[in-house]
């Protein structure tokens, strides 16, 4: 008997942050599972590359250049995508500074993208799901940073902690509509964003993460994308309000 629990044929997926990293890997994988994928990001050349990868593999992709911090842009793109079955709100930014050195503008920028950007996408996708009677899946992107306090990651950690609480609250509110809401909290994964954050210390950081992982390895964007696929598909039909942690065992919270 064919395994159909991960078949997304005839479903529409909307993915933010799809121009690179985890967002791109997730867009490609969901398209391989049969979904029509709508890719959103500020990086237009990156979006075109993602679409080309999906099209070359025989999938269907559409691109939406936008800033997730702008609610009007997100609303217009979600409406253009049609009745969305799956949302993966993956777009994010990082900022490095101590708490005492953090400026209001730094915190505002990170919160606008990492928290409000997720909020905008979830609100608009949930509204279209409810309007069309779709028992869909909202997937947010948290981080392993919510389980520890790392110097210099104050803005990022606070924004991801807010995403976790948003996820739990939405799961409670949207459950009666048959809509599942879950978060993914990856460990350290090498992406263009983490490369910029590492600023020449990539090898040291990766070595440290390998030592901390019982598997002695780092994650790839594709590892996280498989968690996104699980939450997008019927295989996770009884899962909501949860924080899934594909992190190689670096963190094992109760």
Closest among 156, 145, 68 to 107, alpha carbons compared: 156
Closest among 6, 90, 108 to 41, alpha carbons compared: 90
Kind of pairing between the strands at 12-16 and 243-244 = unpaired
* Annotation says 156 is catalytic: yes
Phi-psi region of 8 (alpha: psi -120 to 50; beta: other; left: phi over 0): alpha
User: Cα(35)–Cα(188) distance, rounded to whole angstroms?
Assistant: 27
DSSP line for 150-190: -TTBHHHHHHHHHHHHHHHHHHHHHGGGT-EEEEE----B-
Q: 219: which strand partners?
A: 189
Closest among 179, 114, 174, 107 to 140, alpha carbons compared: 114
Closest among 169, 78, 173, 181 to 132, alpha carbons compared: 78
Choose the catalytic residue: 14, 154, 156, 188.
156
Strands (DSSP E) along the chain, which ranges? 12-16, 36-41, 60-65, 86-89, 137-141, 180-184, 243-244
Q: Which phi and psi angles does 224 have, rounded to 5°? A: -75, -35
User: Cα(35)–Cα(62) distance, rounded to whole angstroms?
Assistant: 11
Residue positions annotated with a catalytic role: 156
């Amino acid at each position: 008997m064919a395994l159909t629990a991960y078949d997304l044929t005839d479903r529409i997926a909307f993915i933010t942050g799809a121009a690179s990293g985890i967002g791109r890997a997730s867009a490609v994988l969901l398209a391989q599972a049969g979904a029509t994928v709508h890719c959103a990001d500020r990086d237009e050349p990156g979006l075109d590359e993602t679409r080309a990868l999906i099209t070359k593999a025989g999938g269907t992709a559409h691109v939406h250049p936008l800033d997730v911090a702008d609610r009007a842009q997100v609303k217009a793109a979600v409406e253009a995508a049609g009745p969305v079955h799956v949302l993966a709100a993956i777009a994010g930014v990082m900022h490095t500074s101590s708490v005492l050195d953090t400026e209001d503008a730094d915190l505002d920028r990170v919160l606008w993208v990492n928290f409000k950007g997720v909020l905008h996408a979830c609100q608009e996708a949930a509204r279209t799901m409810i309007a069309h009677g779709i028992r869909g899946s909202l997937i947010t992107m948290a981080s392993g940073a919510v389980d520890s306090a790392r110097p210099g990651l104050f803005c990022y950690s606070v924004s991801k902690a807010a995403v976790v609480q948003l996820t739990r609250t939405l799961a409670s509110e949207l459950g009666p509509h048959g809509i599942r809401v879950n978060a993914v909290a990856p460990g350290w994964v090498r992406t263009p964003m983490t490369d910029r954050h590492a600023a020449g210390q990539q090898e040291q950081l990766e070595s440290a993460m390998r030592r901390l992982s019982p598997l002695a390895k780092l994650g790839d964007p594709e590892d996280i994308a498989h968690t996104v696929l699980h939450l997008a598909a019927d295989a996770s039909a009884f899962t909501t309000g949860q924080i899934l942690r594909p992190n190689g065992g670096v963190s094992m919270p109760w």
